[in-house]
Chains A and B, each alone.
Chain A
Amino acid sequence: MILGIDTSLGTAVAVVEADGVVRSEAASPDPLAHAEVIGVLLERALADAALGPVGATAAPTPVEITHVAAGMGPGPFTGLRVGIAAARAFALARSLPVVAVPSHDAAALAVLLADPHAPSEPFAVVTDARRREFAYTVYDGLDDDGHPVRIAEPALSPRDALDELLAAGGVRRIDVSAVPASMVALAAARAVAAGRTLTGGEPLYLRAPDVTLPGAPKKVGA
């Protein structure tokens, strides 16, 4: 079973069986409370997973987490790091592998699975990047591994320039306000099954730290 964690927008935790059956989901939409809620949501997701698949009446099998899937962003840095730190620590404690998943891949997977018969057309997952910018990634359909096909890597755009930019490429815009952790876990399950790496181990910050190099010391006057 795969534990999925994403804090790129709100805080989301889920436990998903290797074949995609969702055991549990626990989430908070609060975009600022990641550190506060992550522990409680982890505990709840694990406890709920022990009750069996969501909506199933069959007797549950014990929860044995085999992988931890971490949503790597893009997303506001402070919150994003909480989930990645949690995923790494949870995995380390049980000697499990961490599977890094671009958070937009998970959101795209949710879009594509919601309507599997929709005609293939490129679309952009768009999320809040603060500072009057959006983060977006462009996808088109699922590949043979069941993974969203990324046709443009995650990038930032000024908010008022994004529509024009997407229209120029004939890309439909899909605004996303929550990344489901079950989709992070499912994307990881499919990547593991296919022996693929979805992204590197580093967070998708997309932005250098905001710092200014000091100039000469300011004069204080006599």
Chain B
Amino acid sequence: MGAEPLVLGIETSCDETGIGIVRGRTLLSNTIASSMAEHARYGGVVPEVAARAHLEALQPAIEAAVAEAGVSLADLDAVAVTSGPGLAGALMVGVGAAKALAVSLDRPLYAVNHLVGHIAADILTGEEVEYPTVALLVSGGHTSLLLVRDLVSDVELLGETMDDAAGEAFDKIARILGLPYPGGPEIDRAAAEGDPDAVRFPRGLSRASDMAAHRYDFSFSGLKTAVARWVERAEAAGERVSVPDVAASFREAVVDVLVTKALDACARHDVPRLLLGGGVIANRRLREVALERAAAAGVAVRIPPLSLCTDNGAMIAALAAELIRSGRPASTLAFGADSTLPVTEIQVAVGA
């Protein structure tokens, strides 16, 4: 295998079936089939619905990715798959398919970490990536703050959410405000007309007393309760609830705590770089505030295109290509889905 291996990546950790194909650091295709619409009526991702959708979407997605890349499966140098973290039943669909693909083609298989995959997505932008960097990964499934010293060998978890992921918080608040699922874009739309300073909602784990144990951790359940209480109180008092104002104030609280903690991590680790990843990066206000405050702090912000920020297979392929580049042996076939895989395990079941 050369330094520019042709790798197909399979990602099924949540509600997106992602198949990506890369040649080294070059993106050839990034096919994403989402079951989001099927979850809309439930107001959140239903694991069994997601897993069923993965099974049905996988083969067409692989066929589409291969066609778009203009390669054939026989050309592949390696197969890559997300082993975790994520929804166990959803992950297992991808793991089963990836193993069979690798055995059928007689190619090496790289089982990798979903969160580190989000960081690897940045490599596919074609720009020079510098380390160390702080990475803030925000989606419906995770909210993590990482310190990346080396993509393939040294990723440290600085903090993560203690309860809901930020994306989940958006979904729940949308429901309280009578807005449809998924909540992120709906809150964003409503907030555009609102006053972010209308209500001062709490910033979770941001008090001085939180700094010792949870400096870089997040919590959104208190914020959710605060919003619900505020709305209930206003309704009970017969006041008119301004959905735009509540949406904007809620969004501001989430964005504030995310950006503040990320830039605090940059400052305290003396790392002038911040990488944003995960589907919630689509939130316009989050990007705006991050860019504005980072500029003031002398931190360079990198934001991959949205198609590489949301869960996708290309980032999984990209991470495997980097592992190959650094001479890492393939994974053995003896691994499973690990729903709580720690971020320090960049690759699982590394072979001899």
Task: Write out the residue numbers on chain A whose beta carbons fall within 8 Å of the beta carbon of B89.
Answer: 77-78, 81
Shortest distance from the beta carbon of A100 to any chain B beta carbon, whole Å:
13
Q: Is A89 within 8 A of B229, CB to CB?
A: no
Is A118's beta carbon under 8 Å from chain B?
Answer: no
With A and B bound together, what is the CA distance between A17 and B246 in angstroms?
67
With A and B bound together, what is the CA distance between A39 and B233 in angstroms?
57
Known: A209-B49, A219-B232. A43 touches B96 (CB 8 A): no
With A and B bound together, what is the CA distance between A76 and B59 in angstroms?
22
The number of chain A residues with a CB under 8 A from chain B is 42
Binds B, one of A52-60, A159-167, A171-179, A210-218: A210-218
The number of chain B residues with a CB under 8 A from chain A is 48
Q: Which of A36, A85, A94, A212 is B97 in contact with, Cβ under 8 Å? A: A85
- Interface SS, B side: helix
Shortest distance from the beta carbon of A199 to any chain B beta carbon, whole Å:
15
Q: Is B92 within 8 A of A78, CB to CB?
A: yes
- Among B98, B99, B236, which residue has the most Cβ atoms of chain A within 10 A? B99
Q: Is B334 within 8 A of A86, CB to CB?
A: no
Q: Is A36 within 8 A of B334, CB to CB?
A: yes
Task: Write out the residue numbers on chain A whose beta carbons fall within 8 Å of the beta carbon of B48.
Answer: 77, 209-211
Q: Can you list, as one digit per residue, whether each of A58-83 has a CB less than 8 Å from chain B (1) or not (0)?
A: 00000000000000000001110111
Is B131's beta carbon under 8 Å from chain A?
Answer: no
Q: Can you list, as one digit per residue, whether each of B27-66 has a CB less than 8 Å from chain A (1) or not (0)?
A: 0000000000000011110101101101100110011000
Q: Which of B96, B101, B333, B334 is A93 in contact with, Cβ under 8 Å? A: B101
Q: Is B101 within 8 A of A89, CB to CB?
A: yes
- Interface SS, A side: helix
- Among A35, A40, A43, A221, which residue has the most Cβ atoms of chain B within 10 A? A35
Known: A209-B48, A211-B46. A85 touches B229 (CB 8 A): no
Known: A88-B59, A93-B74, A209-B46. 13 other contacts (CB 8 A): A35-B96, A39-B100, A46-B103, A81-B54, A81-B93, A82-B95, A84-B96, A85-B58, A90-B100, A92-B59, A212-B42, A219-B232, A221-B229
Question: Footprint of A on B, CB under 8 Å?
Answer: 41-44, 46, 48-49, 51-52, 54-55, 58-59, 62-63, 73-74, 88-89, 91-105, 109, 175-176, 225, 228-229, 232-233, 236, 333-337
